Amino acid sequence: GQNIDQPTEMTATEGAIVQINCTYQTSGFNGLFWYQQHAGEAPTFLSYNVLDGLEEKGRFSSFLSRSKGYSYLLLKELQMKDSASYLCAVRAFRRVDAGNMLTFGGGTRLMVKP
Amino acid sequence: GAVVSQHPSWVICKSGTSVKIECRSLDFQATTMFWYRQFPKQSLMLMATSNEGSKATYEQGVEKDKFLINHASLTLSTLTVTSAHPEDSSFYICSAFLPGQPNQPQHFGDGTRLSIL
């Protein structure tokens, strides 16, 4: 099976930088995704890593180390609107008919304070 | 970009009612769609994988007779919660697999909030 761990809650200050960690255990790893989800809404795609290293997209960056089963999402210049849940999701080859299935971690609720 | 439409967005009904939720891919053909359930302050839990023209694959612990999935066309999958009870109240989200985009394989609908009285 798969095991994905991330902190339940984090608090940060507007304008600061926050790092949300995600550790995973899986076989057949085929990519790690980060999603943002505001309360009552569907998740929105933030980033994708399949090779080791850092992927940068504006204020958001995501890092992956496959050997360590570890990823983080880095948010810079935090804004109040960044208050949301951040979901780490792992894709793994599990079944022939669901090669693109994602397994989600529990999510990290980020609260940005003025 | 790819868009997935989910309807209805909100349902309130009496216990024992069956509720149908539709998930449509608007500008692409989706041979595979996924149905998730999310309880308050929890993450998305995959319920089943819906494949066009074949039976859905249900995750362990999900009752296939309770949650009926039909994927009759390349653009539409439906989830029917049969004889819904208050414990079925949750946020249901579908997503569609977009072929040829491994870096963004799933596009989510806006979700359906189901409240059973």
The residues on B that touch A, with CB distances below 8 Å, are 6, 32, 34, 41-46, 49, 51, 57, 91, 93, 97, 102-106, 108-111, 113
Residue A93: is it exposed, middle or buried by C-beta count within 10 angstroms (0-12/13-18/19+)?
A: middle
- pLDDT, tens digit (0-9, with 9 covering 90-100), for A50-61: 999 999 999 999
pLDDT computed for residue B28 by the predictor: 85
Identity of the residue in A40, A50, A97 whose CB atom sits nearest the CB atom of B57: A97
CB contact under 8 A, A87 and B43: yes
Identity of the residue in A42, A100, A107 whose CB atom sits nearest the CB atom of B93: A42
Cβ-Cβ pairs closer than 8 A, A with B, add up to 56
Identity of the residue in B34, B42, B109 whose CB atom sits nearest the CB atom of A42: B109
pLDDT at B22 over 90: yes
Distance CA A5, CA A79 (A): 25
User: Which pairing describes strands B10-13 and B112-116: parallel, antiparallel, or unpaired?
Assistant: parallel
Distance CA A73, CA B84 (A): 38
pLDDT computed for residue A90 by the predictor: 93
Chain B CB contacts of A105 under 8 Å are: 43
Identity of the residue in A41, A102, A105 whose CB atom sits nearest the CB atom of B106: A102
User: Which pairing describes strands A108-113 and A9-13: parallel, antiparallel, or unpaired?
Assistant: parallel
The end-to-end CA distance of chain B, in Å, is 37
How confident is the prediction for chain A on average, in pLDDT?
A: 91
**Lateral strand order in the sheet of A18-25:** A3-5, A18-25, A70-75, A60-65, A53-57
- pLDDT, tens digit (0-9, with 9 covering 90-100), for A27-70: 888 899 999 999 889 999 999 999 999 999 999 999 999 999 99
Cα–Cα distances in Å, from B36 out to A14, A58, A114, B59, B65?
Answer: 32, 29, 34, 10, 16
User: Which pairing describes strands B45-51 and B32-38: parallel, antiparallel, or unpaired?
Assistant: antiparallel
CB contact under 8 A, A100 and B97: yes
Share of chain B above pLDDT 90, in %: 68
- pLDDT, tens digit (0-9, with 9 covering 90-100), for B76-97: 999 999 999 999 999 999 998 7
The residue type of B13 is C
The residue type of A11 is T
Which among B2, B117, B105, B112 has a CA at the least distance from the CA of B47?
B112
Q: Give strand pairing partners of B77.
A: B23
From A108, which residue of chain B is nearest by alpha-carbon distance?
A: B43
Residues constituting chain A:
114
Chain B CB contacts of A111 under 8 Å are: none
